Amino acid sequence: MSEFLQHLINMLVLGGTYALLGIGLTLIFGIMNVVNFTHGVLYTFGAYIMFIVVHQLGVDFFVALPLAVLAGWLLGAAIELTLLRPLRGSDIDTTMLVMIGAWIAMQSGALWIWGGVAKSVATPFPEAPLVLGPVSVSWLRLFVLAAAGMLIVVTYLLINRTKLGCAMRATFQDQDTASLMGVNVDLIYTSTFAIGSSLAAAAGALLGPVYVIFPQMGDLAAVKAFAIVILGGLGNITGAVIGGFILALAEELGAGYVSSGYRDAMGFLIIIAVLIFKPTGLFARSERVG
């Protein structure tokens, strides 16, 4: 029983970060309809910004976090302005190829600047875990869960309750009508991509200190983010959050009770099942997909 409780706690912590990865991508992939291969690189980028700001500039850990998010926002805006804007209106294959190119170029850049050897970020949290009866969890991971939860709520409110969010939804439903209603479509494109990117960087900045930081760390994160978005339904923020927790649950219980060698396979088995039986995702609303 205590082992099961421990798995559940692990699932909550892991699921929170998966959800964060998922909502960033669902904004770009689901709402903007851009197959964003740079999502993993932005995750890596956020983690390296933490490393630079904390270790090379000597800035406080909690100050570094918003700086990493801001840096992700700026890099996302730059990618949109230089790569995606000239391609707007071209077919999805062209955009996808450009994004693959950007992914490889940026990952190689990270390798060139920081080298292949993993780095770690020191945190202000105590080493001793929080012990609650039979289960324990590290303070750092609890903080990551809380921060991820906060970012998810903020993003949800931004999309559903603000004028900017309304303009975003309008733009990607019908660009021309939105434009006629006075929405600055160019600005909406740039800010949506920048917000999605900043969420990826936030996930990297939060998880980098939990694990280790290396140039290819974003690859697995990106694969999982795509899986979560497909699981939850394209463009659905609530779906991405639930999808994140489902993936974490499948991995934890799969590794704990079936076989740890196939841990990463468990989540993907669920996705295959979802694609067969409910191809629009578990929580898709049809008007968003079409």
Partner 1 sequence: MTRTFRSVSAIALAVAFLGGAAEAQTIKIGVNEPLTGAFAASGTYVVNGAKIAADEINAKGGILGKKIELVIEDNKSNPTEAAAVAEKLITSDKVPVLMGAWGSSLTLAVMPKLMEYETPMVVETSSSGKITTTGNPYIFRISPPSAIEAVAFKGIVDKLELKKVDFLVINNDWGRGTAEDFSKMMKEKGIAVGAVETMDQGAQDMSAQLSKLKGTDSETIIVTTAVDQLTLIFKQAAALGLKKRIITTGGSQNPDQIIAQAGAAANGTMHLTTFLPWFPDKTPNPEATNYFIAEWKKRGFDFAGCTESFRGYDGIRTVAAAIEKAGKAEPAAIKAALWDIKIKGLNGDIVFRKSGPEGKESGQSQPNVYLIEITDGKIGMKTL
CB of 16 to partner 1, least distance (A): 13
267 and 251 in contact (C-beta within 8 Å)? yes
Specify the residue, 117 or 276, whose C-beta has the smaller distance to partner 1. Answer: 117
Render 90-133 in DSSP notation, one character per residue. S-HHHHHHHHHHHHHHHHHHHHHHH-SS-B----SS-SSPEEET
Closest CA to 110 of 47, 21, 36: 47
The single-letter DSSP state of residue 213 is B
Closest CA to 200 of 5, 45, 94, 9: 45
Within 10 angstroms of residue 276's Cβ, the number of other Cβ atoms is 8
> Contact residues for partner 1 (CB under 8 A)?
2-3, 6-7, 10, 14, 111, 115-118, 120, 127-129, 131, 136-138, 141, 211-212, 214-217, 220, 251-252, 254-256, 259-261, 263-264
CB of 38 to partner 1, least distance (A): 19
CB of 118 to partner 1, least distance (A): 5
CB of 7 to partner 1, least distance (A): 6
Specify the residue, 107 or 171, whose C-beta has the smaller distance to partner 1. Answer: 107
Specify the residue, 159 or 248, whose C-beta has the smaller distance to partner 1. Answer: 248
CB of 256 to partner 1, least distance (A): 5
Specify the residue, 3 or 60, whose C-beta has the smaller distance to partner 1. Answer: 3
* Six token digits for residue 216: 């290819």
Specify the residue, 159 or 246, whose C-beta has the smaller distance to partner 1. Answer: 246
